[in-house]
Structure 1
Amino acid sequence: MTPRSLFRALAVAELVTWTLLLVGMLMKYAFGLGDLPVRIGGSVHGFVFLAYLVVTTVVAVNQRWSVGTLVLGWASAVVPYTTVPFEVAVARRGLLEGPWRRSPDARSGAWDRLLFVVVRHPWVAAGVGVVAVALVFAALLAVGPPVPRG
């Protein structure tokens, strides 16, 4: 799997899970079907949202994106349906071209060394990533939704 194909897959998954969340909200508020549709759509979306942020960060390090491009990538997950247009834009700029970097060069830093471990052991890294996302997800569920002030 290339950086481009991995990033594309998560961008599309993020878009699909936005739809699940919005359909869940429609079912709750327009049709009065209770909290379950939102809990299901929100849970799936929340997990994929966190995974998208992780993958965006890994791809940004590999592709040596600017901090601004990385932040725009993260922001695209917050605004519904913008991860795929963001992916298309960075692909057009050539920011998704090439393979995974596997060895250091003169520009390599600490983040690159971590990237090389991830690239050398992708299944282990994927497992650690899924567990890390699950732990953050569980912590956020334990904290609960934000409470409106006022």
Structure 2
Amino acid sequence: MTPRTLFTWLARAEVVTWTLLLIGMALKYVTRTTDLGVSVFGLVHGVVFLAFVLVTVVLWVDQRWPLREVVLVLACGIPPFATLYAERRVERLQLAPSRWRLRAGGDEAASVPERAVAAALARPVAAALVGALAVGAATLVLLLIGPPPVPGSGA
């Protein structure tokens, strides 16, 4: 999978999960009919957000993004639908091309993070499994910590 395709899919998945979460929040807080949408879509959104962060960091290392760009793209993962802006910016600035820079036969890795990304690109299936495990572990830790308190709830 190309850097451009991977980033685009995750940026758009983030928009879809934000939409579902906002619908779930409307059902819970506006209509007071059910909190199931927040429970389910909140978890899905959290997992997609963590995957978006992981892929953004990998692209930052692989494509040598300026720090300003990675901070901006990561910040776009926070407000609803801002990843659409990030996706267009990344496309316009050609920050996610159609080839991985550190793939086999590409540039030589010059730092520890680059060597880690190069190793992941050399074994994409194993890297995807490790990435999924990392996202799963982070999700589990965040679930154990619990959700942030709702303002005005006295928690």
- Decide: shared fold, TM above 0.5: yes
Partner AA of 2:66 in structure 1: S
1:79 equivalent in structure 2: 79
Q: How many residues align?
A: 149
Q: In the TM superposition, what whole-angstrom CA distance separates every residue of 1:34-56 from its partner, at most 9, and x where no partner exists?
A: 32111011010000000000011
Check whether the contact 1:104–1:112 (CA below 8 A) recurs between aligned residues.
Answer: no
- Does 2:19 align with 1:19? yes
CA distance in 2, matches of 1:30, 1:8: 32
11-20 or 24-33, which deviates more: 24-33
1:30 equivalent in structure 2: 30
- Does 2:136 align with 1:131? no
Deviation at 1:95, TM superposition (A): 1.4
Deviation at 1:30, TM superposition (A): 1.9
Deviation at 1:141, TM superposition (A): 0.6
Q: In the TM superposition, what whole-angstrom CA distance separates every residue of 1:31-85 from its partner, at most 9, and x where no partner exists?
A: 2123211101101000000000001111111111011111111101001101121
In the alignment, structure 2 segments of 5+ residues that lack a partner are none
1:2 equivalent in structure 2: 2
TM-score (norm 1): 0.93
Q: Map of 1:1-150 to 2, 5 A cutoff?
A: 1-100=1-100, 101-102=102-103, 103-105=106-108, 108-147=110-149
CA distance in 2, matches of 1:112, 1:78: 26
Q: List, as ranges, runs of 4+ consecutive aligned residues in structure 1 with deviation greater than 6 Å.
A: none
Check whether the contact 1:14–1:83 (CA below 8 A) recurs between aligned residues.
Answer: yes
Deviation at 1:98, TM superposition (A): 4.0
RMSD: 1.6
In the alignment, structure 1 segments of 5+ residues that lack a partner are none
Check whether the contact 1:21–1:41 (CA below 8 A) recurs between aligned residues.
Answer: yes
CA distance in 1, matches of 2:148, 2:89: 33
The percent identity for this pair of structures is 43
Deviation at 1:140, TM superposition (A): 0.4
CA distance in 1, matches of 2:31, 2:39: 15
CA distance in 2, matches of 1:66, 1:53: 16
Q: In the TM superposition, what whole-angstrom CA distance separates every residue of 1:79-124 from its partner, at most 9, and x where no partner exists?
A: 110112111112111212241122543x721111011011001110
